[in-house]
Amino acid sequence: MNGARLPSEPTPRIGPREAGLPGAVRASDPGARRQRLIARFEAVGPRVLSLDVFDTLLTRPFEHPTHAFVEIHRALVLRGEAVARVEAATFARLRVDAEKKARTTRPGGEVTLEEIAHELSLALGGRPAPASLVAAEVATERAFIQLDPDLAALVLHARARGVPYVLVSDMYLGSAQLLELLGAATAEAGIVLPAPARVFVSGERRTNKGARLFSEVLAELGCRPTDLLHVGDNAESDVASARASGLHAEHAFRDSPAVARIFEAEARILAAQATGPAPRPYDAGLRTARLAAALSELSTRESPLDHFQYGALVLGPLLTQFAEWVVDDCVRHGQHRVYCLMREGHLLAPLIERAAAATGARLDVRRLWVSRYAIRAASFDAVTEPELRGYLLKRRSYPLDIVARDLGLDLDALRAVTGVRHPAPLHPEDVVRVVDGVLGSPALRAQLLATSASRRTRFLDYLRGEGVLDEESLALVDLGWGGTIQNRLARVLADQPSPRRIRGLYFATESRLLQLPAASCSADSFLFHLGEPAETWWPLRRTPELLELACMPRQGSLRGIADDGSPSMFEQVLPVHQLEEIEQIQRGIFRFAEKWLPGAARRRAGLTHQDRQEELARLRAILVRSLMEPTLDEVRLFESWEHDANDGALDHENLLGDAELRERARFMSYWHIMDLDSQRTFWPAGLARLHGKTAESASAVAKSAVRYAHVRRIADLFARTAAVLARRPRK
């Protein structure tokens, strides 16, 4: 859009409750993965369903199966076993070596857990005894094991068709041990499954799927190969080997090339940012939940990333754990009600409700329509040069007619005192004329204050209707960044007997938060606080738009409170296709929450403070990677996206920049693009990736983040200097 324009028709109004209803946030559908598995079952029509166990019917929340050995060491130490003199990493290595040794001395290389424990006990000097090692390993597996709901649904579908299922596993655990784990996982998931008809385990059979195990399955079941459908995660043993034996096979894959590229980049950034020892392998199931959520809608392993998967894989972990943090904070402070600021509250409120339900916390979560634009218009209690400059100095300058509308001033009178009559956005010298003109006109000053007082009265009536004025301590939830809305809201509520204090709970904050009035406000933040650590905060500070847009409802930004007390909205200027894609992202976010929230508290039990800091570091790596080192698939998702000004005008701009900039960027270096300011592009890293310009390494990405932080510190210094100079008396 060229320039700003006013709505050409009456602004739509929505009630406070209707405004908070998340149109795209619904109970999750079964997902493409589950539907694909069931469709395959129906197409084959098997007499018996055969399932792999680990990473198929049952999953572990570890990046690699051997990472469980660190947790076995922890369990042994807590039980007082004599392994404290051996570090966890050493114990894990000895456990790997013990399995290798056991395999080299047994027929076919297939072993049992008891045989591995015997070798491990010898390596540890005979203590703990093999039986203790076996008990600890089974107990650890039981504590962490999870049921795959899609495979569980397949088992239940088969039962409805009268088809039994068997378990076929290349595994050192025994049949009884596997059944014990299955029972624990189904109990934890609250799902009742029929018992498998048979269990075939390579360790007990001394043969595996690549050798004779499938032949033994067929012989003992008395079936022809085509009577069985085998489902598993391993392309070789579960698919190729099954088909080589004549069985029908379906690949229940748990990875994809698009997802693998993202994980690899995150690992590089996490390693580059690490300042201490290597992080603990266990991540409380974060990677497992991300994969389960993202791949639940993947039709084929090679499918490119889509908006749903981006929500599940990238934004789901960040915003779901933010919601958990909000719930924990409210429980700690005895806060029973929390208000989520709209428009972001459209997504955050139901996420917080689900996080509270997962822990059994009783929390009244409400949506509250407040915006920087609307609250500023209602909070003028004095007409001063800093106030007027603070309003006029925006990212994009607006025409005089919009300035008059926003400040509630007579346009003809404003033109008369300023001499500005052109319809174009204000030039810097025009801004000076507007400030001087309003300050020098008692009539305009009185009109501005009267308009603001009227808006403030309507706002207070709206807040009263939402129960805000009944709160002794008001808790607000928002993404961040500088606490501007909280600051302005404190001014609007200054003359009210309650709330006496406003507490902001933010996803991330910068140093401007320190400008909050200490007597009436406090604030805390989840991922970054007061802009620290700067190297990981500034990528978000430079490109917050993706996160903000992902939380949006279909409604436009808040114009103010109408005479009837309902929120009045500006028209929505974002294209329809983008709104639909936002809803897909939100669906992905909620799919992650469905995978993560059940059992999250249990999975975190026993984590130390250092463990939680490592979990936070992983989340920061997810965010920094997504903004600073996006894949081409990701950039393509947002290539056509626009960002609305959300500040009174109806401007909207492409995230990557206009057509001319995108063409010129073809001939720019990576660092030239990264140095572009926000007036040119919201997302320089996305623009660079679009043209194949990338950082040479993870350290280069970190270097770019450091440059952002350094440049911003200099910009802040200049801004403070300019503010001081602006307050000096004019000659």
Residue 86 is predicted with a pLDDT of 85
d(CA 110, CA 107): 7
pLDDT digits (tens, 9 = 90+) for 49-67: 999 999 999 998 887 788 8
Compute the CA torsion angle 265, 268, 272, 273 (nearest 10 deg): 60
Half-sphere exposure of 319 (CA within 13 A, CB side): 37
As a whole number of angstroms, the distance between CA 191 and CA 156 comes to 10
475 has pLDDT over 60: yes
Q: Establish how many alpha carbons lie within 13 A of residue 217's alpha carbon, considering only the half-sphere containing its beta carbon.
A: 36
pLDDT at 24 over 80: no
pLDDT at 451 over 50: yes
What would the two tokens of residue 680 be? Answer: 């040119």
In terms of C-beta density within 10 A (0-12 exposed, 13-18 middle, 19 or more buried), how is residue 432 classed?
middle
Q: Is the pLDDT of residue 158 over 90?
A: yes
Distances in whole angstroms, Cα of residue 639 to Cα of each of 281, 643, 657, 659, 682: 35, 12, 10, 11, 12
C-alpha–C-alpha distance, residues 316 and 589, integer Å: 4
Q: Is residue 17 predicted with pLDDT exceeding 90?
A: no
User: 519: Cβ–Cβ under 8 A, 6 or more apart, which residues?
Assistant: none
Output the six-digit token pair for 510. Answer: 């910068």
Buried (b) or exposed (e) across 152-181, using 16+ Cβ within 10 A?
Answer: bbbbebbeeeebbbbbbbbbbbbbebbebb
Kindly report, residue by residue over 358-408, the tens digit of the pLDDT: 999 999 999 999 988 888 888 888 888 888 887 777 767 788 888 888 888
Per-residue confidence (pLDDT) for residue 709, from 0 to 100: 54
Worst-scoring range by mean pLDDT, 255-264, 268-277, 299-308, 679-688? Answer: 268-277
Is residue 704 over pLDDT 60?
no
Is 0.95 surpassed by the pTM of this model? no
Residue type at position 644: D
